[in-house]
Structure 1
């Protein structure tokens, strides 16, 4: 029974270019191939025997005379020449690619503007005139731009074919679609059929599911930030908690853990692909936007923490003006007991901080200022809603003075109009007329 050894594959041998081959055989590695510095030929297989044979048969007689430092100098010179040549070729290729890309961009603009194909040459002539004035050294780049009528027609046809191919690819993944079509005739009385397709693919459905889940969480946060009389420290705690949740979700989404994204999880269980890294990136963008919008909160973090629990605050983190009073407060067991009893009830906690004994004047000032701050623009939004309800298309002639009066009466809750006094004033006015 004969046995034949399996053929070896070059990739399986993990051959690597050796630096010593540059001095020995005048070769360097470029794009995975060994390139001869002398004749610029490439040797595909990185094997010393192949490089040695090439050097010995083609260049050995001429280059064996270079030894040691002279050989190093010659190899360095040849490397510089190769690099310069490659740079020149790269620039030429880059310029040619840019000219082709520009021709596609201009052709697309011509198609979208409904201009004739011959407009391409006119636009090129205009660009050449502009180049003469603004950048004459780059005029040759504009000159290489092909925008003849035939080229523009060809580019537009290729753009159309690419769009059609993309549409076919997307349509194959539609889970639901609809078609709109109609027929008409052009100026030469040729019948033309227009077909539009609208569809939903699994990727779109998963995007929508992610949007549903994240919007639900944002709505929950929005409700926490609303409401009259809310302290700014409560808003800070809600935002801080949501930022922490975002960091957790980012990590979990990268690992395709959908514990907190129920809509996405239900689709994934049905077999719809879920790209965790893509949605983790979206959460990261949201987190950055939150950090940007609530940067002021971070700047006052220590003050907020002092307000939330002055008995657990770090004395060294507060301003020097407050340190002595804070130490006295934290060492007062009676006040500490009262605070712990009030903790958990926002109204009682606020009352405790408002009614601190007179020996804590600076702390009282800080707490009073914080309690005066609005936690959100909820009241303003509520007022504008009332404004739009009152001054609508059915009451558009309502004067500014009357609108102001209606809004003040309907939106202010902490102050009640003194109806008894108003009635007394009316009685005085009536009796004065007699």
Structure 2
């Protein structure tokens, strides 16, 4: 969330700079303007860039809604004294209090990274860990999309550009392992004449 907030602040700063006629943050466009004799940004282009930056900002806010600061405290440091127990769902509060008073878990928290700590706590404290892991792992579904594009690029090349990739992609992206030996057992060899 810190990186996202920083990027949103940069977008707002860029909008302010573009409205003032400064496009130094866009290297290629700045170079073109420097080569131009009048060094002025076209008003219609200024409007278009500003609208694009506003659109990008609204899309980011839509896809990554701001979570409460208290949720961040639970994820960042469950052993903090300033963490309010009331923000945690009622059915998880007892488990959270067990975790908060577990000295072995606190030692593990200090030794390991945040994600490794919460993954290791999943067996002992599943309800609390599930809440935290949902915050820590919001992009798990993008892996499937990325692997799909990667597979498509591998299958469909310049020499195979007219290929219907749907069946091949389905096989390549399937998590089911083919049982080749079982399939071959069911087939009968061609008898000789």
In 1, distance between residues paired with 2:100 and 2:44?
47
What's the TM-score once normalised by structure 2's chain length?
A: 0.57
Structure 2 counterparts to residues 3-402 of structure 1, below 5 A:
239-270=4-35, 271-274=38-41, 279=46, 282-283=49-50, 285-292=52-59, 294-298=61-65, 300=67, 305=72, 308-311=75-78, 314-315=83-84, 317-323=87-93, 325-326=95-96, 329-330=99-100, 334-343=104-113, 349-356=114-121, 360-369=125-134, 371=137, 374-376=140-142, 377-386=145-154, 388-389=156-157, 392-393=161-162, 395=163, 400=167
Mapped partners of 1:303, 1:387: distance in 2? 46
Greater strand fraction, Structure 1 or Structure 2: 1
CA distance in 2, matches of 1:301, 1:378: 29
Change in 2 beyond 3 A, CA 1:264/1:357: closer
Structure having the higher Rg: 1
C-alpha offsets along residues 347-401 of structure 1, whole Å, 9 cap, x if unaligned?
Answer: xx433212216553321222455548625232333344456449742x55x894x
TM-score under structure 1 normalisation?
0.31
Contact 1:258 1:264 in 2 (8 A): yes
Partner Cα distance (2:40, 2:74) in 1? 47
SS in structure 2 at match of 1:355: helix
Counterpart-to-counterpart distance in 1, 2:65 and 2:120:
27
Structure 1 residue 283 displacement after superposition: 3.3
Work out whether residues 151 and 169 of structure 2, in 8 Å CA contact, stay in contact via their aligned partners in 1. Answer: no
Unaligned runs of 5+ in 1: 1-235, 344-348
Q: CA deviation at 1:336?
A: 4.0
1:321–1:291 CA distance, 2 compared to 1 (3 A): farther
- Report Cα offsets for 1:40-62 as digits up to 9, x if no partner: xxxxxxxxxxxxxxxxxxxxxxx
Q: Within 1, Cα distance between the matches of 2:43 and 2:95?
A: 51
Give the number of equivalent residue pairs: 178
Which residue of structure 2 aligns with residue 404 of structure 1?
Answer: 170
